[in-house]
Amino acid sequence: MSDLDAFIRGIPKAELHMHLEGSIEPQLMLDLAQRNGLKLRWDTAAALRAAYQFTNLQSFLDLYFEGCRVLIHEQDFYDVTAAYLDRAHQDGVTRAEIFFGPQSFTERGVGIATMMNGILRAIDDGARKHRISAALLVSAHRHRSEADALALLEQIVPWRDRVVGIGMGGAEVGNPPSKFENFFRACRDRGFRTTIHAGEEGPATYVRQALELGVDRIDHGISCLGDPDLVRDLAERKIPLTVCPLSNFRLKVVPSLAQHPLKALMDAGVHVTVNSDDPPYFDGYVSENLIACQRALDLSRDDIVTLARNSFKAAFISPDEVAGALAAIDAYVANFR
């Protein structure tokens, strides 16, 4: 491991764009399937991992939703959350904001309390075990109706104090952000922070629509480079983009990491962060994403520090927590040998 690789792995960082359902490692998926009496199409972890060859976002989502079937009981949700937090801790993650989409499970009859109790119990245990600050982002599916999203908002009311924000993911094509204007207004009215996937496979107009929804962050957002006025607006309004480079590469959104727009967005003054999205599927947790980008885009150590600082500035935490995290980064940089 090079000194710069070690620096990247150890620097305190926040991860703001990671889907819990997309963090199930192949062996854990097989173990959960066996525990729950399910038969998957793959008999070994190697065979399952070999299936992670995607042509676009939809080809990934098809397999992703199939993997969701193994999560049934409270302990299943606990185990997946705990496994991710253990791995994130190894990457220097001290703040994790974790997406979770209950609609994949409620439609199969899994109770909302089963999911929430398992996830939140693991988050509490992770805080004690690793001193990692983790929080839950409830994500609605954009391929469903706005009425479905509003119903989800009602379902999570009992856990209002444990949900840090509301997001939205899923297939972009044909599902523009404007479809959910009333939903995001309702989220804001209830005091939730908000974020939405836009500009991954969708065009720059989707990023513009996301901006007009008044969200606090935009997930992916990289197609904004097709609209220079939009890039300026994002930079001036300091709207963070939670970028997922290895995901973009593996889903054929970009032809290579060397052609990824991360550095161009940084140079344009956009507040970008680096995240893993669905790490086992795309062969990289947050440190692997940063290391791969450093090599492909020739990022400097100062660039890495900027991205780490950006991650905490974009997090849904208090100003005092941001200040503490930035001080920890400064101390790490000063003392790194």
Positions marked active-site: 200
Distances (CA, A) of 337 to 7, 124, 307, 334: 9, 33, 20, 9
**DSSP per residue, 69-107:** GG--SHHHHHHHHHHHHHHHHHTTEEEEEEEE-THHHHT
Count Cβ atoms within 10 A of the Cβ of residue 187 and give its class: 0-12 exposed, 13-18 middle, 19 or more buried: buried
Residue 36 half-sphere exposure, CB side, CA atoms within 13 Å? Answer: 20
* DSSP annotation of 22: G
Whether the CB-CB separation of 196 and 165 falls below 8 Å is answered with no
Whether the CB-CB separation of 328 and 12 falls below 8 Å is answered with yes
Specify the 3-state DSSP secondary structure of 211.
helix
What sign results for the dihedral spanned by CA atoms 161, 163, 167, 170?
Answer: negative
* DSSP annotation of 277: B
Helix (H) / strand (E) containing 15: strand 13-19
> Torsion-angle region of residue 238: left (phi > 0), alpha (psi -120 to 50) or beta?
left
Count Cβ atoms within 10 A of the Cβ of residue 169 and give its class: 0-12 exposed, 13-18 middle, 19 or more buried: buried
Look at residues 241, 247, 250, 196 and name the one whose alpha carbon lies nearest to residue 223: 241
- Tracing tokens 């930079």 back to the chain, one arrives at 235
Look at residues 200, 147, 194 and name the one whose alpha carbon lies nearest to residue 176: 200
Q: How many CB atoms lie within 10 A of CB 336?
A: 12
- The two structure tokens encoding residue 54: 């995607």
